[in-house]
Amino acid sequence: MQTGLNQLFLEVNFWELVKTSGTVTLAVLGTLMIASLSSWTIIFSKWSAFRRARNANLRFLRAFRKSTRLDAVAAATEQFRAAPLVVVFDFGYSEVCRQMAARGIIGNKPALERTLQIGMSEEISRLEQSMNWLATIATVSPFIGLFGTVVGIIDAFQQLALSGSTSMRTVAPGIAAALITTGVGLFAAIPAAVFYNYFGNAVKEMGARMDDFSLEFLNMTERNFEEPK
């Protein structure tokens, strides 16, 4: 019996099954293919963005550590606009300029620290853009595929009942067509889940880099503006 079933499924032309599937199954497959395409578009886009950000961070950090003055770093930031650290620097440098213009000294260090924190939060939010779609696709796609499978199997058994046949050959194509939606659902969900976790770890790493950089920024600020005359 098992050998017969295997032979039946091996003989199935899945493309023909898709073309002859019902409206619900086709709608499910179309939805899943759109979800998969969207997922891979986001994955390639985020992969490229994170790679550029890492490279730009390294180059900016080298330039920052070689410099001894904030104004010199500020003049060079346009070369490193892809670096998340530049955004944090811009927030911090703007606050330094405001305090120096108002009092001639850095008199409110907690305000500077809060400004750096705001810069980090905004940059982390930017890095996390579109990741919620990956999470949604990873979570929902298997259930959409399962819904298509359930509907397809119900339809297959209804056709079996209407035909009055008890042959497995009658119902096998319908079951095979139904199972396609589960496979496509997993095809859409698995890469989305894997890269959601990967990019989540990358964001955490970037956040740690920005935390460390904020400390270096505060150190340079103290050297530039708070040393005794």
- Predicted confidence (pLDDT) per residue in 34-45, tens digit: 999 999 999 999
Q: What is the pTM of this model?
A: 0.79
Tell me if 114 sits within 8 A of 94, measured CB to CB. Answer: no
Residue 68 has what DSSP assignment?
S
Quick one: how far is CA 68 from the chain centroid?
37
pLDDT band per the 50, 70, 90 thresholds, residue 162: low
Tell me if 69 sits within 8 A of 224, measured CB to CB. Answer: yes
pLDDT band per the 50, 70, 90 thresholds, residue 10: very low
70 versus 18: the higher-pLDDT residue is 70
pLDDT band per the 50, 70, 90 thresholds, residue 8: very low
What does the alpha-carbon distance between residue 8 and residue 175 come to, in Å, rounded to a whole number?
A: 11
**80-95: pLDDT as tens digits:** 988 999 999 999 999 9
What does the alpha-carbon distance between residue 118 and residue 169 come to, in Å, rounded to a whole number?
A: 65
pLDDT at 14: 56
Residues 6+ positions from 122 with CB-CB distance below 8 Å: 87, 91
**114-159: pLDDT as tens digits:** 999 999 999 999 999 989 999 999 999 999 998 888 887 777 777 6
Other CB atoms within 10 Å distance of the CB of residue 70:
21
228 versus 15: the higher-pLDDT residue is 15
Tell me what the pLDDT averaged over the chain comes to.
83
Tell me if 22 sits within 8 A of 180, measured CB to CB. Answer: no
Residues 6+ positions from 127 with CB-CB distance below 8 Å: 49, 50, 53, 84, 202, 203, 206
- What is the maximal distance between C-alpha atoms in the chain? 99
Tell me if 145 sits within 8 A of 182, measured CB to CB. Answer: yes
pLDDT band per the 50, 70, 90 thresholds, residue 21: low
